[in-house]
Amino acid sequence: MSGKTVHVEFEGVNKSYDGRKLVVRDLNLRVEEGEFLTLLGPSGSGKTTCLMMLAGFEDPTGGVIRIFGDSVGKVPPRRRNIGMVFQNYALFPHLSVGENLAYPLEVRRIERAGVVERVRRALRLVRLEGFEGRRPGELSGGQQQRVAIARALVFEPRLVLMDEPLGALDRRLREEMQYEIRRIQRTLGVTVVYVTHDQQEAMAMSDRVAVFNRGRIEQVAPPEVLYEEPERGFVATFIGDNNLLFGRVLGVERDICEADTGTDVVKAFLVAPRGVGDRVTLAIRPERVALDPEPGRYSNEFEAQVDDIAFLGDHLRVRLTVCGSTDFVIKIANTVGHGAVLEDDRVRIGFTPLDCRALVPDEEREEG
Amino acid sequence: MPGVIAEAGRSRLSSSFLRSLKAWLLVLPLLAFIGVTFIVPLGSMLTRSVHAPVVADALPETLALLRSWDAAGLPGEAVYAAAAREIRTARETRTLGQVATRINRLKSGLRGVLSRTARQLRSIGPRPGDHEPERAGQPPDDATPWRDTLLGIDDAWGEADTWLAIRRAGERFTARHYLNALDLTQSVDGGVVAQPPELRIYLPLLGRTLLVSLAITVLCLVLGYPVAYLIAQAPPKRANLLLLLVLVPFWTSLLVRTTSWIVLLQSQGVVNDLLVAAGLLGDEDRLAMIYNMTGTMVAMTHVLLPFMVLPLYSVMRTIPPHYMRAATSLGGTFFQAFRRVYWPQTLPGVGAGSLLVFILAIGYYITPALVGGRTGQLISNMIAYHMQQSLNWGLAAALGGLLLVCVVALYLVFDRLVGVDRMRLG
Amino acid sequence: MGRLLHVAFCAAVFVFLVAPILVIVPLSFNAEPYFTFTDGMLRLDADAWSLRWYEAVAGDGEWRRALVNSLVIGVSATVLATVLGVLAALGLASPAMPGRAVVMSVVISPMVTPVIVAAAGMFFFYSSIGLAQTHLGLILAHAALGTPFVVITVTATLAGFNHDLTRAAASLGAGPWYAFRSVQLPLVLPGIVSGALFAFATSFDEVVTVLFMGGVEQRTVPREMWAGVREQISPAILAVATFLIAFALLLMGLVQWLRGRGSGSEPAARDAATA
């Protein structure tokens, strides 16, 4: 993560459209050269605005954006030399695939033979050899997507932005294209800043993910870190499933605290320093909870009531009332001998303090 | 944080200000053009409808002096002197005729009085006292040579009503044309009264115009609704073909279409010939279908029908067929389903089409002028008559103003219901 | 049963819409100076049909002058209306345009104002500045009447235009003018041409302002037709009418064809244009 050149840098960037409400607040972010970074968040969280500011279609209200160390505040989009893939492809419908790809090259006054060669190479890269003469309207969604990617790469930019490029495709095609985009990015070594609201897509493709919520970045980390070590309740629930319990700290011993949820006392791993009496949010992944463990194996063991059981093929999802929560969910792998659980059973569950992360409640930071 | 937001405000101001400035600069040439070539002319018409400068320009001094007259007795000698001088000048500049006409409208008989007075004043010369040289220099205060002279010419100059009429006619801005256009008159003392029923022309005409427009709107709706429904239900290819049939009259010259109706409906025309040939009519009982209200209605319905069908169609096309299917599957008859489910959804189209047809109908001129004969004329034709034949431009302008008010009111309703920027063409 | 009735009713309405126009065409080949089918015509007697009215019109200096006047006034008014209308539509399409509703109302006003009122006002004003009885006066008047059609058509096309295309062009390195010329203009051109054809058709069919403001020198084709219908009605009118029908069909065909080519892959634009 270090030693590489910083390619893109946001420093204290704010953005407001109406002069009152900030849609991006005090944003600080660095993207390294060759990195695949995804801006992930629900709609309206400010991720697309960030991408638009980077592309130059929106001006930051405050702060600085740098590309290779140079502030791009006054540089118009066409001089930024950034490849961009739009949500609905934005292919020019009146031009053929070849003409679409040649467009950025002609703008750059590249001679004819070079244009033809580069267009052919770009189409080969996206596996659409021989499609030069087709009109975008004659292509399938997936093919149009590939053309859009080829067009964003054909003039060899070192930075490519993608704004929910797979949103219009169905699931299978989307997964295939995720792989394709990743392959192309690795082949060329370009830096990619990718926007999506689909956390699985973000996990599958990215070197790092920046999770956006209400105009701020909640956490920037590689996918597995986001999953295993979420720092905020929002991240904990936005990336994968998580159970949240709410409580107050009773006592702290090094990294482990004891928290009172009102009905039980839970031992949890402290992510941020908290003192006795502070409120905490506890996050426990459903698949890290054991059902009917050997007594004494876990330092967190509770009696729970089974409210609902759903069969989901490779696993069962069991909904429990426990520790003051009525929607505590656990996952049980569908393996031989997963045990017979019935609705309304009283069961015991257990989990380690390391799988139960004590987070600073999200409301507290909002106030700050 | 407040600092950040203030900064946000400034930056937004400059960039969005530039963008809206650019948008305005693009729109400005057209606005200026429409303003000069269209809005200003409308304004000049409206001005003319309330502006009556003829008398005021011809008798400025008389009117200025009359302004301080208490209207009780007769005006002073100065008024008579000024009137005599200005009447003579008006005769010399040939404006007396118009002046007399205007004043005569307020008190009949004054036209004759004025022309007689002007004629005789010419023979008297500039000063009535001249034949008594010893008093020429400084007439005594009580001497009233001009009053005597005018009274000598006509007794009317001794009536307060005459002077009241002149004073009223001399008002530069007048509601007279509008009163006239609404079949009202103003008496000399300023009271407004309705014309006797047999003299009312414009209100009945306006009423007839509105009634005919309404009838045409209903006709268009009755004819257009099933057609629009048929097109909306048809598969795309056939729908396009049927739409073309609706568009053919839309694009064909209005004069061509009107000519067609003359050819078809006149007494020696195709329809009558067919009926006679089929033995349904005797050769001498040919139907009078044109040059009357029937002609106006038929031709205007033909002309305006596309304006009903197109908005109806564009609304119906957006109504998913499964609503009707759902309604009939719930056990209603087709007509129940239609009335409760389909019809309410087409109301925006019905409103848009009806308003459009009505707005166009009340301003129609060409068709009634060509096929309306004497009985099929509408308010527009009366405007044209006053513009081109009677040359009573003030009245024409006032009628135009009234028509404009009707249209603007309907247009505002249209804008409310449909939105002008959602208007589409053929 | 109900369906059959519905179709029959609609068929009758379509006949009502189209037949009166078509009836004129065969009558214009009448050898006799009548406005109805002669026995000879019905018997398809070759002598009963002739081109005499077409020859009469073609040989008539007044009709020729009227055609020239119509074309000169129509083309000039169309150019003026199209240039001003397209610029305005571009401004109105900008989301930053303040007071758009008011501006739109003003711009549309010539279309909804009764022509007689507009013509009366124009007569008063244009006379006072010496433009009555001039070609220029009529060109300005017709341009004013034609601009709403251009603005409406082009605005609808622009509303269907995907602004990401302009952004895409910018991201690919194109300057604003190049992006406009290479991307936006070709895509909205069918809309612009449609609007221009509407404006031309408006001018080519307009008779009221010509009646009020035009002198003998400014008589246009519809003005001559007006005189023909009102004063000395002659089948020559039918020959002209047939010519005008053919011309209208040509304009209509052009607009429909352009519609098919409108804004490329944007279905929204196509919807907007056909609605």
Residues of chain B positioned with their CB less than 8 A from the CB of C14: 227, 242, 245
CB-nearest partner of B263 from C27, C114, C140: C27
**Which pLDDT value is given to residue A66?**
94
Task: Assess whether pLDDT exceeds 60 at residue B356.
Answer: yes
Q: What confidence score (pLDDT) does residue B68 get?
A: 86
Sequence-separated (6 or more) residues with CB below 8 Å from residue C79: none
Q: Is A96 on the interface with C (CB under 8 A)?
A: no
pLDDT computed for residue A249 by the predictor: 92
- Looking at residue A284, its amino acid is I
Q: What is the CA radius of gyration of chain A?
A: 25
End-to-end Cα distance, chain B: 54
At C120, which CATH number? 1.10.3720.10
Measuring CA to CA, how many Å separate C102 from each of B132, B415, B422?
A: 71, 11, 14
Q: Is residue C50 domain-resident?
A: no
CA C105 to chain CA mean position, Å:
21
The answer for C37, left when phi > 0, alpha when psi is -120 to 50, beta otherwise, is beta
Residue C270's pLDDT is what?
A: 31
Most confident listed range (A106-120, A352-366, B176-190): A106-120
Instruction: Tell me if chain C has a CB within 8 Å of the CB of B49.
Output: no
What is the mean predicted confidence (pLDDT) over B259-282? 84
For residue C200, give Cα distances in angstroms to A140, B37, B253.
40, 18, 12
Residue C243 lies in a domain: yes
- pLDDT at residue B3, as a whole number: 47
pLDDT at B126: 66
Q: What is the pLDDT of residue B8?
A: 46
In this model, does residue A127 exceed pLDDT 80?
yes
Q: A246 in contact with C at a CB cutoff of 8 Å?
A: no
The DSSP letter of residue A86 is B
By residue range, what is the domain housing residue C206?
Answer: 61-93+102-262
Average pLDDT over every residue of C145-161: 89
Does the structure show a pLDDT above 60 at B363? yes
**Are B23 and C96 inside 8 Å of each other by CB?**
yes
Q: Does C37 map to a domain?
A: no
Q: Which tokens hold the place of C210?
A: 């010509």
3 state SS of C36 = coil
Confidence of residue B420 (pLDDT cuts 50, 70, 90): low
User: Which residue from C133, C210, C80, C108 is spatially nearest to B39, judged by alpha carbons?
Assistant: C108
The residue with tokens 């200005």 is: B86
Contact between chains at A77 and C167 (C-beta distance less than 8 A): yes
Residue B413: pLDDT band (50, 70, 90) is confident
For the segment B17-74, what is each residue's pLDDT rounded down to a tens digit?
888 888 899 999 999 999 999 999 999 999 988 888 888 888 888 988 888 888 788 8
The span from the CA of C212 to the CA of B43, in Å, is 17
Does residue B254 belong to the interface with chain C, where contact is any CB pair within 8 Å? Answer: yes
What topology does CATH give the domain B202-422? MetI-like fold (1.10.3720)
Note whether B12 contacts A18, CB cutoff 8 Å: yes
Which A positions 58-87 lie with beta carbon below 8 A of chain C? 76-84, 86-87
A51: confidence class by pLDDT, cuts 50, 70, 90: very high
Q: Output the pLDDT for position C23.
A: 87
pLDDT at residue A49 in the model: 93
Residue B125 — very low, low, confident or very high, per pLDDT cuts 50/70/90? low
Q: Give the number of A-B residue pairs with CB atoms closer than 8 Å.
A: 32
Contact C158, C93 (CB under 8 A): yes
Mean pLDDT within C140-164: 91
Task: State the pairing for strand pair A208-213/A36-40.
Answer: parallel
User: Looking at beta carbons, which residues of chain B come within 8 Å of A216?
Assistant: none
How much of chain B is helix, strand and coil, in % rounded to 5? 75, 0, 25
CATH 2.40.50.140 fits A241-367, yes or no: yes
State whether residue A107 sits within 8 Å of chain C by CB. Answer: yes
How do residues B173-209 score in pLDDT, each as one tens digit?
888 888 888 888 776 666 788 888 888 888 889 899 9
Q: Is the pLDDT of residue B417 over 80?
A: no
pLDDT at B4: 47
Backbone torsions φ then ψ of B290, nearest 5 degrees: -135, 165
Q: Is the per-residue pLDDT at B137 higher than 50? A: no
pLDDT > 70 in chain C, percent: 93
Closest CA to B100 of B165, B173, B7: B165
Instruction: Please state, for a pLDDT cut of 90, what percent of chain B lies above it.
Output: 20
Work out the average pLDDT over A109-115: 91
> If pLDDT is split at 50, 70 and 90, which confidence band does B136 have?
very low
* Cα C51 to Cα C103: distance, rounded to the nearest angstrom: 51
* Lowest mean pLDDT, pick from A182-196, A344-358, C90-104: C90-104
Chain B nearest-CA distance from A25, in A, is 9
**pLDDT value at residue B131:** 46
- pLDDT(B10) > 70: no
User: Each residue of C22-41: pLDDT tens digit?
Assistant: 888 888 888 887 777 777 77
User: Which of A78, A90, A92 faces C175 most closely, judged by CB atoms?
Assistant: A78
Position B141 pLDDT exceeds 70: no
Model confidence pLDDT, tens digit, residues A268-298: 998 888 888 899 999 999 999 988 888 888 9
CA A245 to chain CA centroid, nearest Å = 24
B119-134 burial, b at 16+ Cβ within 10 Å, e below that, comes to eebeebeeebbeeeee
Q: Does C265 touch chain A (CB under 8 A)?
A: yes
Out of A360-364, B227-231, C20-24, least confident range: A360-364
Residue C265 pLDDT > 50: no
Say whether pLDDT at B5 is over 90. Answer: no
**Domain range summary for chain A, segments of one domain joined by +:** 6-233, 241-367
C140: chain B residues, CB-CB within 8 Å: 37
Fold match, A6-233 / A241-367: no
- Residue B393's Cβ-side half-sphere holds a number of Cα atoms within 13 Å equal to 18
Q: Which residues of A touch C170 (CB under 8 A)?
A: 56-57, 76-78
Decide if C98 and B20 are in contact by the 8 Å CB cutoff. yes
Rounded mean pLDDT, A28-47: 93
Q: Which residue of B has its CA nearest to C87?
A: B26
Residue percentage of chain A with pLDDT more than 90: 64
The predicted model gives B374-388 an average pLDDT of 89
B422 confidence band (pLDDT: 50, 70, 90): low
Tokens linked to B73: 């007795």
Rounded to whole angstroms, how far apart are CA atoms A31 and A38?
A: 10
> Is A138 in the C-facing interface, judged by CB distances under 8 Å?
no
Instruction: Look at residue B1 in the predicted model and tell me its pLDDT.
Output: 43
A67-100 in b/e form (b: 16+ CB < 10 A) is beeeebeeeebbebbbbbbbbbbbbbbbbbbbbb
Q: Give the residue range(s) of CATH 1.10.3720.10 domains in chain B.
A: 202-422
Span C67-94, mean pLDDT? 94
**How many domains does chain C contain in total?**
1
User: What is the pLDDT, as a whole number, of residue A262?
Assistant: 85
Q: Tell me whether C189 touches chain A (CB under 8 Å).
A: no
- The answer for B 50-79 residues in CB contact with C (under 8 A) is none
pLDDT greater than 80 at residue C263: no
Number of H helices, E strands in chain A: 9, 20
- Residue reference for tokens 């009109």: A135
**Residue B412: predicted pLDDT:** 85
ipTM metric: 0.87
The CA–CA distances, whole Å, from C100 to B18, B252, B423, C34 equal 16, 33, 14, 54
Out of 3.50.50.60, 1.25.40.10, 3.10.129.10, 3.40.50.300, select the CATH number for domain A6-233. 3.40.50.300
Which of C95, C101, C141, C99 has its CA nearest to residue C118?
C141
C36 close contact with A: CB closer than 8 A = no
